């Protein structure tokens, strides 16, 4: 007889989101009156553009939007997403291939629920976004991380992916621009992974949520454009959160071959039904509007990127490559481990311990590399005000040098 006190093996095997955990601890400290500088959260600090908010206000007042929408999303939004895919990724998709989800995160979850059988493997280039392995495990799949370090710009080599391939390999994840490293993989790397996946009948799951956040001469490469033949087994994951400063609105999507999209619609029909109608209306305004707002945010992020990389590299024991995309700096802090830091001369043996000390003693929140399959690193989101960024870096530097 099953023991009623025992929760499922599946949920017990899953780790909570480390990024959300750091963020909520920092927020709790703030609520108790402690002045914490938060580099933890992966969200733009800008308000959502006015015209997007206005579309939601108008939608609220229209009783048509007080109802369910089709599970897959409003037809106008699915059309707008198909048009946006053509504009940005450079190839045509049909609106029937689009499923609107509660944030990109739900699209990640549903993708693996419909793709994986127990024991199927997913190759995940590391450092990876913290939710990928957990979403794979929630589908009874097996995450297979393949690490690429800072010396190669965090870009995976196809030979390393090939070495990890087995007869159970079902999918590989691409995430460029990357969370947590801010790396942008070269077109050659993206193309070669696409060709390799095609050759071996592997699904490509391409998370393009940071596509418009790139700096210097770097640009986002789209695997579906570089390797058109892969589109039969390509799932694009995306959303409005990062491009339009809309993390709280919870609108994301997947674009996939019809059979996969229909399966995910079936799943979602039993899970959450449709995304809230009003945010879908706001998303139509966002996705079909211009990219002016993200270009303005990009300028601010670019300035902060330079500031933070300079500040981090000025700290003895810290080494931070210059990220080319997203809004994260991923710093190697191994030089601070195993030696006294902070006013009490505390010693951290891991980046997780270092992040905990940094938060408790210097009131600076950063996410430890362990959450991303990369111990020895800390991730700093630089989506915060310039003055806070400077103050946070001053605290980190003072704390580390004591
Ligand atoms: N993919 C990546 C790489 C992310 O960093 C995030 C959010 O942090 C998401 C997907 C999901 O974003 P959301 O669920 O807020 O749309």
Q: Helix, strand, or coil here: 56? A: helix
The ligand 1 atom nearest the CA atom of 19: 8
Cα distance between residue 156 and residue 177, in whole Å:
13
**pTM to 2 decimal places:** 0.95
Q: Is the CB of 321 under 6 A from ligand 1?
A: no
Residue positions counted in the chain: 402
Q: Helix, strand, or coil here: 308? A: helix
- Please give the structure tokens belonging to residue 277: 């109608």
Q: Is the CB of 239 under 6 A from ligand 1?
A: yes
Distance 346 CA to ligand 1 centre (A): 34
- Please give the structure tokens belonging to residue 329: 């700096």
Question: Using an 8 Å Cβ cutoff, are 365 and 371 in contact?
Answer: no
Q: Is the CB of 105 under 6 A from ligand 1?
A: yes
DSSP H or E run through 269: helix 258-271
Check residue 289 and give left, alpha or beta (phi > 0: left; psi -120 to 50: alpha): beta
Q: Is the CB of 241 under 6 A from ligand 1?
A: yes
Distance 75 CA to ligand 1 centre (A): 23
* DSSP calls for 80-135: HHHHHHHHHHSS---GGGEEEESHHHHHHHHHHHHHPPTT-EEEEEES--THHHHH
Distance 398 CA to ligand 1 centre (A): 32
Could you say which residues of the chain have pLDDT below 70?
none
Mean pLDDT of the chain: 95
Q: pLDDT per residue over 273-311, tens digit each?
A: 999 999 999 999 999 999 999 999 999 999 999 999 999
Residue 136 CB: number of other CB atoms within 10 A? 27
Distance 310 CA to ligand 1 centre (A): 27
Q: Is the CB of 179 under 6 A from ligand 1?
A: yes
Q: Which long-range contacts (CB under 8 A, 24 or more apart) does 352-356 make?
A: 354/378, 355/22
Domains, the chain, in order of start with CATH, read 9-47+293-401 (3.90.1150.10), 67-288 (3.40.640.10)
Question: Using an 8 Å Cβ cutoff, are 255 and 52 in contact?
Answer: no
Check residue 121 and give left, alpha or beta (phi > 0: left; psi -120 to 50: alpha): beta
Q: pLDDT per residue over 116-154, tens digit each?
A: 999 999 999 999 999 999 999 999 999 999 999 999 999
- Which residue's CA is the nearest one to ligand 1's atom 12? 104
Residues 6+ apart with CB under 8 A from 284: 55, 74, 76, 77, 80
Look at residues 309, 327, 377, 363 and name the one whose alpha carbon lies nearest to residue 18: 377
pLDDT at 229: 98
**Between the CA of residue 19 and those of 23, 85, 391, what are the distances in Å?**
6, 29, 21
Residues 6+ apart with CB under 8 A from 81: 95, 98, 100, 238, 253, 255, 287
Query: Of all residues in the chain, what percent are helix, strand and coil, respectively (each to 5)?
Result: 50, 15, 35
Q: Is the CB of 252 under 6 A from ligand 1?
A: yes
Distance 374 CA to ligand 1 centre (A): 19
Q: Is the CB of 381 under 6 A from ligand 1?
A: no
Cα distance between residue 12 and residue 7, in whole Å:
7
For residues 173, 177, 180, 185, the Cα torsion angle rounded to the nearest 10 degrees is 70
Q: Is the CB of 131 under 6 A from ligand 1?
A: no
β-bridge partners, 367:
379
**Between the CA of residue 80 and those of 94, 135, 137, 186, 253, what are the distances in Å?**
11, 27, 32, 28, 12
Question: Using an 8 Å Cβ cutoff, are 381 and 42 in contact?
Answer: yes
Q: Is the CB of 103 under 6 A from ligand 1?
A: yes
The ligand 1 atom nearest the CA atom of 207: 1
- Which residue's CA is the nearest one to ligand 1's atom 5? 179
The ligand 1 atom nearest the CA atom of 107: 14
Q: State the chain's maximal CA–CA distance in angstroms.
A: 62
pLDDT at 243: 95
pLDDT at 273: 95
Q: Which of 41, 42, 104 to mutate to test the pocket of ligand 1 (most atoms within 8 A of CB)?
A: 104
Q: Is the CB of 209 under 6 A from ligand 1?
A: yes
Q: Is the CB of 315 under 6 A from ligand 1?
A: no
Q: Is the CB of 182 under 6 A from ligand 1?
A: no
The ligand 1 atom nearest the CA atom of 42: 8
Distance 54 CA to ligand 1 centre (A): 24
- Which residue's CA is the nearest one to ligand 1's atom 7? 42
């Amino acid at each position: 007889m099953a023991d009623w006190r025992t929760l499922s093996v599946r949920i017990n095997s899953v780790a909570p989101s480390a990024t959300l955990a750091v963020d909520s601890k920092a927020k709790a400290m703030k609520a108790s009156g402690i002045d914490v500088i938060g580099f933890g959260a992966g969200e733009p600090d800008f308000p959502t553009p006015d015209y997007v908010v206005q579309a939601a206000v108008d939608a609220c007042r229209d009783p048509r939007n007080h109802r369910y929408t089709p599970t897959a999303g409003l037809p106008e939004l699915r059309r707008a997403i198909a048009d946006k895919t053509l504009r940005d990724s450079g190839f045509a998709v049909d609106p029937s291939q689009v499923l609107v989800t509660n944030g990109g995160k739900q699209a990640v979850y549903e993708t693996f629920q419909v793709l994986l059988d127990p024991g199927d493997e997913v190759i995940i280039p590391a450092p990876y976004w913290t939710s990928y392995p957990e979403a794979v495990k929630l589908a009874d799949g097996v995450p297979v991380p393949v690490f690429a370090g800072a010396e190669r710009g965090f870009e995976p080599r196809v030979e390393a992916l090939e070495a990890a391939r087995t007869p159970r390999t079902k999918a590989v994840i691409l995430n460029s621009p990357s969370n947590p490293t801010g790396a942008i993989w070269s077109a050659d790397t993206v193309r070669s992974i696409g060709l390799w996946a095609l050759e071996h009948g592997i699904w490509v799951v391409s998370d393009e949520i940071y596509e418009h956040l790139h700096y210097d001469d770097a640009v986002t490469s789209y695997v579906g454009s570089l390797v058109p033949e892969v589109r039969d087994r390509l799932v694009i994951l995306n959303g409005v959160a990062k491009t339009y400063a809309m993390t709280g609105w919870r609108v994301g999507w997947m674009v996939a071959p019809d059979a996969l999209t229909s399966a995910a619609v079936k799943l979602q029909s039993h899970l959450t039904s449709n995304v809230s109608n009003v945010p879908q209306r706001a998303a139509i305004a966002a996705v079909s509007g211009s990219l002016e707002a993200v270009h303005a945010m990009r300028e601010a992020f670019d300035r902060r990127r330079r500031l933070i990389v300079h500040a981090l590299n000025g700290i003895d024991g810290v080494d931070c490559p210059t990220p080319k995309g997203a809004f994260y700096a991923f710093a190697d802090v191994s030089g601070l481990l195993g030696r006294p830091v902070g006013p009490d001369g505390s010693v951290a043996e891991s980046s997780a311990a270092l992040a905990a000390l940094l938060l408790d003693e210097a009131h600076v929140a950063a996410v430890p590399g362990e959450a991303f399959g990369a111990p020895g690193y800390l991730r700093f989101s630089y989506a915060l005000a310039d003055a806070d960024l400077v103050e946070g870096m001053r605290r980190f530097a003072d704390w580390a040098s004591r």
